[in-house]
Structure 1
Amino acid sequence: MSNANIEELVSKIIPPLSSDYHKGQAGRIGIIGGSKDYTGAPYFAAISALKVGGDLVHVFCTKDASQVIKAYSPELIVHPILDSASFSKEFLEHLPHLHSLVIGPGLGRETSIFDSIRDVIESAKSKDVPIVFDADALFFLNNAPEVIHSYKKAILTPNKIEFGRLYKSVTKNMAEEEYSKAEVQLLAELLGNVTILKKGSVDIISDGVDTLICNEPGSLRRCGGQGDLLCGSLGTFHYWAHRTSINSVNSLDSSLNHSMIAAFGACLLTRRCSYLAFQKFGRSSLTTNMISEIHNAFSGLFH
């Protein structure tokens, strides 16, 4: 299947702008992450989910991070409960109101939080909620890959280092330095055909059955935060792709699972944002510049 055909599938999952829609119908996204030392990552992910077109974004962070994240934007709904001893129980009250989850941006690696994350994942799976795993959530999966095994609504977004760790954890072997399509496909297959979006000079997306390459031109700049834009926008695309009201994907007789379509859309968008920002700011490009380009990138790619 050509990239043009996949772009068409992505366009089909995007809900139309309509006066008949009510607030929240285009997506209520949950971002789980944000700690004392890492407040930018959950903000970048959350604001990207909003700017792509989600209606409401909830950020579940630690108490220390909450005021900082609130100060970044009044658009975000911030819950300072991540480091609470009763986080799992408190989160369950919010879960029925969320359409998808992004776990990991700024999460940190405290054992107590990882224990709670395991409970959250199990609860989300029981509700059939699409989940994106990024950053420290991938570190958690190194020691607990079984929690997402065969969950078809899981998308993992590792960079080069994160992929190498997870590949070694699951296969007990070292991956090749550049991580081939075959290795990404193998890891996805061994994890029960979850979707892996391996970030790099080109993005490799596989569910162990199909493998896509996103080589949309991007930027020469490698500033921090671009992965947060990707995972946040993916949180919105992931919900759109799995909405039960969508029939258009099936009408195209596509063999791709919906998570693959969502992942490809988020890759395209992130790369186009990076490209547009780099054309304006060059070496000075920052993720905030990329986020400002979401509207232009989106309207240029999807019709």
Structure 2
Amino acid sequence: MRVATSDEMRAIDREAIERVGVPSLCLMENAGRAVAEQAVRLLGGSVKGRRIAVVCGRGNNGGDGMVAARFLHNWGAEVLVFLAGREGDLREEPATHWRALKGMGVATREVSEEGETSEVEAALRACDLAIDALLGTGATGEIKGLYAKLVGAINLSPKVVAVDLPTGVHADTGGLMGPCVKADVTVTFGLPKVGHLVFPGAGMCGKVVVADISLPTRMLTDEGRLPLFFLTPREARKLLPERKPDAHKGDAGRVLVVAGSVGLTGAAAMSAESAYRVGAGLVTLALPESLNDPMEAKLTEVMTLPLPERGRAISPEAVDKVLKFAEGVDVVALGPGLSRMEGAAEAARELVARLERALVLDADGINALEGRAELLDRRRAPTVVTPHPGEMSRLTGASIEEIQRDRVGFARRFAKGHGCVVVLKGARTVVASPDGRTAINLTGDEGMASGGTGDVLTGAIAGLLAQGLPPFEASVLGVYLHGLAGELASKELTIYGALATDVLRLLPEALRWVEEERTPPRWPIEVGHPLL
């Protein structure tokens, strides 16, 4: 499903109004009714006699709230509407709906000074539900003054529905712009925005409901104008590699995993096994020769390639042996547990520069390029880099705070600048392609915050690449499956007890869920449009 930035959504709204001829009042009416319906749902199916406070800004977001208030009043709720400002400050469409509210006898109050918020706070404490209709996706500045006070008042309510986006969440980054409304449900219109999906903003939205307000479907599904998306269960099913009835192991792809060092053998083992668990036909683990015997005992299906070593990590002398073996494989995964010893780092840099096979670069393979990201620019074969924010910081010199402030933008810029697919790991992993296509992954949970889960992901992406998926698609599906396996592990073992090996074990079950187009257990979004 496509995801919009605030500018992209405004352009769609404007085209629908000016070129297609959908009246703006019609869009606002549909939006407000969708908000009202979610309020009813949150209150158990009826609002008769329930107290609802609606806090409106002066723009279109406020207008949506006014429409919702009118419907809720009509359905029997005791509604009180607060306007942040004076009636004379309203834009044309919200002013129309404000007059309608008053005409229907809905209780309204104007609040224009910070000192006038005591009644608002009292009403929000006493109500059954509040609707946040203060600011929408166009807000970019710090929340302060009157609006900060009103945000605090809204958060006093026992239940909150946010209109389009909780006030205080940046629509394009998911960052917080100061005090922020904490919603139970956020009703957005047409398409989800980045701020609904990326943390910390995603954590303020509650359940996200994407309402159909009659924007033309062709505009909402145009991949050319909307390069950002998230993978749905239906779309994930379409990405699964095909396998012919007469396929043999060579047809399912060959993976070479270059990984492991003393104390870090688990990373190597999990990466190699993960490639098998997503369907790769043949997997070989290249590792320091002194670790070969114990790994042969540990791994049954995975073949091994002992390499020259220094300090029980691979040495530069291993490079030629790896390059020769790699001539017979489809994909090389490089980095899990490789160590940060200089010999291993030197070997990793030389392999990045000389390998002529598709490469998935992770962990210490990325760390080896600290300050030398230009080595990626010289690669001719497809490359996928899978850093967490700390590794991305070392790779680029940017601070973790800078990376996390705009995860989507940072991943996109790096992918375009270095000609590789970027998998920026973390809650809501971002996958960016050099051509601008970008996916925000919605699977996974906090139970995956344990050592080794990233190694499982590396192998999964490599295994899908080996089966013929293009690098971007292999990365998007790999991240989706990995997160889904994590959710299944948490469901079975709790978020406290699930380990990386459980994620690895449940990859086949995640594949089954994808084959059956089942919705992941903790899917955070609900879409009202049947064709999106």
Give TM-score scaled by structure 2 length: 0.50
Q: Would you say 1:27 and 2:248 are equivalent positions?
A: no
Q: Would you say 1:14 and 2:241 are equivalent positions?
A: yes
Written as runs of structure 1 = structure 2, the 5 A alignment for 1:40-51 is 40-51=266-277
**Which letter maps to 2:319?**
S
Partner residue of 1:75 out of 278, 301, 318: 301
1:204 positional shift: 0.7
Correspondence for 1:164 = 393
Q: Would you say 1:65 and 2:291 are equivalent positions?
A: yes
**Which letter maps to 2:498?**
S
Q: Would you say 1:268 and 2:495 are equivalent positions?
A: no
1:150 positional shift: 6.0
1:88 touches 1:120 (CA, 8 Å); kept in 2?
yes
Aligned with 1:65: secondary structure? Answer: helix
Greater length-normalized contact order (CA 8 Å, ≥ 6 residues apart):
1
Q: Would you say 1:97 and 2:328 are equivalent positions?
A: yes
Output the aligned Cα RMSD: 2.4
Correspondence for 1:286 = 499
**Which letter maps to 1:132?**
V
Correspondence for 2:451 = 224
Q: Would you say 1:155 and 2:384 are equivalent positions?
A: yes
**Which letter maps to 2:395?**
L
1:12 positional shift: 4.1
Structure 1 residues 106-156: Cα deviation after superposition (integer angstroms, max 9, x where no partner): 10122222222233233323xxx2100100011112232222116461111
**Which letter maps to 2:391?**
E
Correspondence for 1:252 = none
Structure number with greater Rg is 2
1:88 touches 1:116 (CA, 8 Å); kept in 2?
yes
Q: Would you say 1:115 and 2:341 are equivalent positions?
A: no
Cα distance in 2 for partners of 1:232, 1:26 equals 14
**Which letter maps to 2:508?**
H
Written as runs of structure 1 = structure 2, the 5 A alignment for 1:236-275 is 236-242=463-469, 258-275=470-487
Q: Is the alpha carbon distance of 1:124 and 1:15 closer, same or farther for their aligned partners in structure 2, counting shifts above 3 Å?
A: farther
Cα distance in 2 for partners of 1:110, 1:293 equals 33
Q: Is the alpha carbon distance of 1:10 and 1:161 closer, same or farther for their aligned partners in structure 2, counting shifts above 3 Å?
A: farther
1:7 positional shift: 5.8
Q: Structure 2 stretches of 5 or more lacking a match?
A: 3-229, 310-314, 517-532
Written as runs of structure 1 = structure 2, the 5 A alignment for 1:188-203 is 188-191=415-418, 193-203=419-429
Cα distance in 2 for partners of 1:296, 1:241 equals 21
**Which letter maps to 2:243?**
P
**Which letter maps to 1:284?**
G
**Which letter maps to 1:131?**
L
Q: Is the alpha carbon distance of 1:239 and 1:6 closer, same or farther for their aligned partners in structure 2, counting shifts above 3 Å?
A: farther
Structure with more of its chain in strand, by fraction: 2
1:155 touches 1:194 (CA, 8 Å); kept in 2?
yes
Structure 1 residues 191-218: Cα deviation after superposition (integer angstroms, max 9, x where no partner): 2x21110011101111242221111243
1:35 touches 1:65 (CA, 8 Å); kept in 2?
yes
1:277 touches 1:285 (CA, 8 Å); kept in 2?
yes
Q: Percent identity?
A: 22
Q: Structure 1 stretches of 5 or more lacking a match?
A: 243-257
Cα distance in 2 for partners of 1:71, 1:40 equals 13
**Which letter maps to 1:275?**
E
Aligned residues: 281
Q: Is the alpha carbon distance of 1:85 and 1:149 closer, same or farther for their aligned partners in structure 2, counting shifts above 3 Å?
A: closer
Aligned with 1:80: secondary structure? Answer: strand
Which segment is superposed worse, 30-39 or 145-154? 145-154
Aligned with 1:182: secondary structure? Answer: helix
Q: Is the alpha carbon distance of 1:71 and 1:8 closer, same or farther for their aligned partners in structure 2, counting shifts above 3 Å?
A: same
2:465 touches 2:474 (CA, 8 Å); kept in 1?
yes
Q: Is the alpha carbon distance of 1:12 and 1:268 closer, same or farther for their aligned partners in structure 2, counting shifts above 3 Å?
A: closer
Structure 1 residues 162-193: Cα deviation after superposition (integer angstroms, max 9, x where no partner): 12222326xx99724444211111122222x2
